[in-house]
Structure 1
Amino acid sequence: MTIKGVKLLPPKVTVSEALILYQKVAKIKSTIGQLNSELNHSLFNEDILQILSLKESVQSTRIEGTQVTFADMIDQATLKKKSKEVIEVQNYREALSLGVEMINEGNPISSRLIKQIHRVLMSNETRGTTASAGEFRKVQNFLGPDNKIENAVYIPVPANEIGNYMTNLEYYINSENHTSFEVNEDEELYCLDEKTDPLIKTAIIHAQFESIHPFLDGNGRLGRILIVLACMQDKLINSPVFFISEELEKERIRYYNRLNGVRGENPNWFDWIDFFLSASQRMADNLLEKLDNIDTLAKRGIQKINKNNSLINSVWLYTFRSPFCTAKEAANALEIAVPTARKYLKVLADLKLLEEDNSQQRNKLYVNYDLINIIG
């Protein structure tokens, strides 16, 4: 059966369901507090954010059906002509970076910001409809197994209603009341209004954006970027690390089923939010473990280098920001001579800390596989 449209925000759940959700939130927030603390005291904060954002970019595009992997990003790192799937990952990373920058500059999440991010996401002739990059759709779209609307699983709101729905969403995101918000008059229901917990709000924001489906293409990827930006705007996290795409990709069918459940005349918001919170808990637990393992790897490498030489240590730690790099890239990033970067990368390869691509004579690639294995 085809589901049509989505109700305006805010959503409602039963009082007992709300209690379950808030109990889950309390546990997740404790883990997120640990994450914030770990990142605040980590020597590799910025470096780890770089590699985690690449991981998120790969995973988010995989949800959309691409087969691109970390290995592909490594293999094509030095190529001038990259595959469209790799370009799609690069676009995602650049769009995410732009969004984070705009939030850090104090810009609220708005239709204007969303359109700017979408323009970057759909640039460079990537897969999908790029002609209308940065513009809300002007025609009806639908989600389904083929290109026939009669077989659609879901038909989003009509194009002429996108403006109203996005205004409703924008006010909700920014915790401002709006005339479109329905007043809760049922005592048996609990309204998850614009003042609700930031993590629950983030789940709602993502699902509502996906359900409005305001662009012809790229909605899923942009919706997952919004998860990170909403968490940052609401100060839930201090750094852009709320990368949940890996957990969503693991349960892709469940993810789409729960999203579809919030649509139509009888939305089931509890199942979606509950699913999102469980995925968030797994993500936070895994990230804490990864941060600890990354810290151990970095310290073990410095012990193995065993030199009171800050330059080679800097080259080693640079590979935590860019786990596959050339001597030229390392030299440019660290502002040192290319021969110096090459010498130290070679030393690190001889120590088995990096892997050197011996198939190339020039512009050799050096890979920090141990880090890549930790990141997953």
Structure 2
Amino acid sequence: MPKKGIAKLPIAMPNDKALEIFRLLAGVNKKIGRMKSEFNHSIVNDAIVSTFSLKESVQSTRIEGTQVTFSDMLEDRGEENPSWEKIEVINYHKALHFGTDYIKNGYPISTRMIKKMHSTLMERARGSCSSAGEFRKIQNFIGPNNRIEDAVYIPVGAHEIDAYMENLEFFINSTPHSSFRKFNKTDGFVFDEECDPIIKAAIVHAQFESIHPFLDGNGRLGRILIALIAIKEELVDVPVFFVSEELEKERARYYDLLNGVRGDNPDWYSWIRFFVISCGRMADSLLSKLKEAENLATFGLKKCNLESERKIWLYSFSDPVTTATRVAENLKISPATARKGLNTLSEAGLLYTDETVKRNKKYRNYDLMRILN
């Protein structure tokens, strides 16, 4: 029998289980704090954040079954007629940055904002006709095929979505609401709207996926919400709280534990524990990559003689497979200065270009690409 629906927030779990979560959380929060500090003081901060967010966009769409790679996106950036898989990555990237700007301008995470991000996600992508930016009007389900009889989960009814999303919105923004469930002391520890930001991100992601408010794109949008909650709650100052790579490594477990929070006997402990551990692994991975990227940037800067070369070298951390045209446009320098600087960096062994190509040459920061992969 498929699981049906999910209870409204907040959630509760046995006190001993909550204590285990808090023990895990203490170490992970230290790692996240260190990650935040390192990004704030990095010489490649602004440049590499953009590249990390593109990688997150790739990883999140790969969870959905696409085969496009990070290298594909770097190599084909700016192509005129991208495949639908690349369109999904590009749209994810746009939606993530729209959400980031929205929050940084002081707005709360709202239903209106979520619908706008969904419209961006679905533009020219798979399911783009599936009511982009609008909640579904029909019952949907999650399962191995198109038969509801074989479903593993049947979300809340379409007529309930508005009430469930209002409950979620108030929980996200730490505002008390009449819809919040009431628990007895015997129910255990309650994770309410004031809970730790990492736990809040775990709960919100699972709740959003379980409401499944749209006909398509729920998974991607739910993973964007994780990154946005991290910024809103000041876990990080820039959009680098990207857990998708860790979730994608254990895709089957990820889906199974998400499904575990649904129905009449939800297991929130197993899901939150998995999410917290994944966040710890993410922090370790990002810190390691950032340190290697910093060392590479410093090494390259020592080989640069002109200020224009230094700027181009650091720019390559945001655009690891670039062209003279893009460098000129983004750094506001002449195409001739851009081309000369890129060729100098190539001769110094910092970038690679195929000398047999005469027009629209690409210059690749392979050392950075290896670090990020």
Verify same fold: TM over 0.5.
Answer: yes
Q: Which moved more, 1:15-24 or 1:350-359?
A: 350-359
Deviation at 1:237, TM superposition (A): 1.6
Cα deviation, residue 232, structure 1: 1.1
User: Residues 324 and 366 of structure 1 are in contact (CA less than 8 Å); yes or no, is this contact kept in structure 2?
Assistant: yes
1:66 alignment counterpart: 66
The SS at the match of 1:52 is: helix
Root-mean-square deviation (CA, aligned residues, Å) is 1.2
* Distance in 2 of aligned mates of 1:117 and 1:68: 22
Determine helix, strand or coil for the equivalent of 1:191.
strand
Q: Which position in structure 2 is the counterpart of 1:165?
A: 164
Structure 1 distance, partners of 2:88, 2:357, is: 26
TM-superposed CA distance for 1:359, in Å, is 5.9
Q: Distance in 1 between matches of 2:94 and 2:60?
A: 13
Identical columns (%):
52
Residue 103 of structure 1 contacts residue 233 of structure 1 at CA under 8 Å; is this kept in 2? yes
- Equivalent-residue separation in structure 1 for 2:114 and 2:144 (angstroms): 27
Q: Provide structure 2 residue ranges, at least 5 long, that are not aligned to the other structure.
A: none
Number of the residue aligned with 2:21: 21
- 1-structure distance, mates of 2:235, 2:325: 38
The residue number in structure 2 matching 1:222 is 221
Q: Name 2:212's counterpart in structure 1.
A: 213
Q: In structure 1, how many angstroms separate the alpha carbons of the residues matched to 2:235 and 2:295?
A: 27
Other structure's SS at 2:241 match: coil
Quote the residue 1:85 is aligned against.
85
Q: Distance in 2 between matches of 1:267 and 1:112?
A: 29
Q: CA, structure 1 residues 141+7, in 2 after alignment: closer, same or farther (shift >3 Å)?
A: same
Q: Which residue matches 1:242?
A: 241
CA distance 1:165–1:188, change in 2 (3 Å): closer
Change in Cα spacing, 1:188 to 1:10, as seen in structure 2 (3 Å) is closer
Paired AA for residue 112 in structure 2: R
2:138 maps to 139
Within 2, Cα distance between the matches of 1:289 and 1:188? Answer: 41
Preserved contact between residue 248 and residue 255 of structure 1 (Cα < 8 Å): yes
- For 2:278 and 2:80, the matched residues in 1 are separated by 37
Matched, 1:321 2:291: no
The one-character-per-residue Cα deviations of 1:110-151 (angstroms, maximum 9, x if unpaired) are 10010011111111x112243411101111111111111111
TM-score, normalised relative to structure 1: 0.97
Q: Which amino acid in structure 1 is aligned with residue 178 of structure 2?
A: T
- Residue 7 of structure 2 is matched in structure 1 by 7
1-structure distance, mates of 2:63, 2:267: 22
Paired with 1:130 and 1:223, the residues of 2 have a C-alpha distance of 20
Query: What are the within-5 Å matches in structure 2 for residues 1-376 of structure 1?
Result: 1-123=1-123, 125-305=124-304, 307=305, 309-358=306-355, 360-376=357-373
Determine if contact 2:36/2:235 at 8 Å carries over to the other structure.
no
**C-alpha displacement at 1:362, in angstroms?**
1.2
- Spell out, residue by residue over 1:255-282, the C-alpha distance to the aligned partner (whole angstroms, 9 max, x if none): 0000000000110000000000000000
Amino acid at match of 1:321: S
Summarize the Cα distance change of 1:183–1:358 in structure 2 as closer, same or farther, 3 Å threshold. same
For 1:230 and 1:71, how far apart are their aligned partners in 2?
A: 28
Task: Answer yes or no: is the 8 Å Cα contact 2:100–2:239 preserved in 1.
Answer: yes
Greater mean alpha carbon deviation, residues 101-110 or residues 21-30: 21-30
Task: Say whether the 8 Å CA contact 2:12–2:187 is kept in structure 1.
Answer: no
Contact 2:141/2:148 (<8 A) preserved: yes
| TM-score (ref. length: structure 2) | 0.98
For residues 61 and 273 of structure 1, what CA distance do their matches in structure 2 show? 22
Letter of the aligned partner of 2:312 in structure 1?
V
Is 2:320–2:369's contact at 8 Å kept on the other side of the alignment? yes
